Amino acid sequence: MKKLLVCVLALAMVLSMGASALAFEPVPKEEIKVGFVYIGDISDGGYTMAHHNGTLAMQEALGLSDDQIIIKRNVPETSDCEIALMELIEQGCDIIFGISFGYMEYMADLAEQYPDVIFSHCSGYMSNDTNFNNYFGRIYEARYLTGIAAGLRTENNHLGYVAAMQTPECIYSMNAYFLGARSVNPDVTMDVTFTNTWYDPTIERQAAIALLDRGVDVLAQHQDTTNPVAAAEERGVWACGYNADMTEAGPNAHLTAPIWDWGAYLTDAVQKVIDGTWTSENVLMGMSEGMVDISPLTKNVAEGTAEAIEAARASILDGSFGVFVGPIYDNEGNLRVEEGQTLTPEEILAIDWYVEGITLV
């Protein structure tokens, strides 16, 4: 964890430095080839589907043909990733997007070997100053808003959260969600279980059921599929999905979900490759840039939810509120954010502690 934290802090420094001075030569639009490595299938109803929707939005916005988009699906975070990346390189891709955290080191190694190919990695912290960057969003803004929906909806003040990995991305996300819930309901607590996988429908479902067996009545997730929402639907309780609108998986359970518009970044990145202006700048976009938001509130939300969420949204967008505002204590009783202090995006990216009221089970 310490090594990871150092790397995340290094990312924060890069984010503040801006773009590299180096750029690639323009690529004619009719000649460009864009590669993608997906961890799941586009039918997962969540993470991969959301990323694929961004791919399609980029393709349409730029007027690229189908044969200019090359996609490798269901690629695990193993040496299979390197194989998929090599195939994209051999097929002549000018830029390759890898959408899962575990692809990072494979992409970093190949970026050194193939300096004429651009590698853009989602959610990681490694990059170089030539042909390898990373991109992500201030998803904690949307997480906070969905937490408001959960805090107002719960009847027993017992929330549950199915998380993938013990990485800062997952930790600050659940913290933001829980802070949103406590902003409208200071009595809530939250049980968290880690699956140690980003994408495994069976394990995600098992973890959700284990939390439901503990009596939680609102379930949230940092997982790729709709299975936790479906489990909540079966138990007759509520859920907040992730990545995309998951109402179809739980029409009587789903409240809302933090969602991504990956096309906001993909379109800009590929256009820069075409223009010859792409540089290895790391990207962190939020609600104001259109990358993150929440899905439409469903009929299942409590009265007053829309008004509370819109008030919080407005304060985030106008900069008067920053989600992580002190005082904030961790679940071991330590003061982590002083009263009057607001964590910066760089500080949020390095969070490795859990907010008071969160229990790991």
* Residues 28-44: tens digit of each pLDDT: 999 999 999 999 999 99
Q: Give the pLDDT score at 113.
A: 98
Per the model's pLDDT, the better-predicted residue between 127 and 18 turns out to be 127
Residue 111: Cβ within 10 Å count: 24
d(CA 203, CA 164): 10
Q: Give the pLDDT score at 3.
A: 35
Mean pLDDT (whole number) for 342-361: 96
164-203 per-position pLDDT tens digit:
999 999 999 999 999 999 999 999 999 999 999 999 999 9
Per the model's pLDDT, the better-predicted residue between 7 and 276 turns out to be 276
Check pLDDT > 90 for residue 234: yes
d(CA 69, CA 32): 9
Calculate Rg over the CA atoms of the chain.
Answer: 20
Q: Give the pLDDT score at 22.
A: 59
d(CA 152, CA 111): 47
Report the predicted TM-score, pTM, of the whole model to 2 decimal places: 0.90
- C-beta separation of 111 from 105 below 8 A: no
Check pLDDT > 80 for residue 8: no
Residue of 314, 339, 309 whose CA lies nearest to 324: 339
pLDDT band at 23 (very low <50, low <70, confident <90, very high): confident
Per the model's pLDDT, the better-predicted residue between 220 and 7 turns out to be 220
Q: Give the pLDDT score at 39.
A: 96
pLDDT band at 17 (very low <50, low <70, confident <90, very high): very low
46-81 per-position pLDDT tens digit:
999 999 999 999 999 999 999 999 999 999 999 999
d(CA 172, CA 5): 13
Mean pLDDT of the chain: 93
Q: Are strands 358-360 and 132-137 parallel, antiparallel or unpaired?
A: unpaired
pLDDT band at 15 (very low <50, low <70, confident <90, very high): very low
Check pLDDT > 50 for residue 5: no
Check pLDDT > 60 for residue 18: no
Mean pLDDT (whole number) for 287-309: 97
Check pLDDT > 90 for residue 91: yes
Mean pLDDT (whole number) for 148-164: 98
For residue 219, report the phi and psi dihedrals to the nearest 5 degrees.
-115, 130
Q: Give the pLDDT score at 7.
A: 44
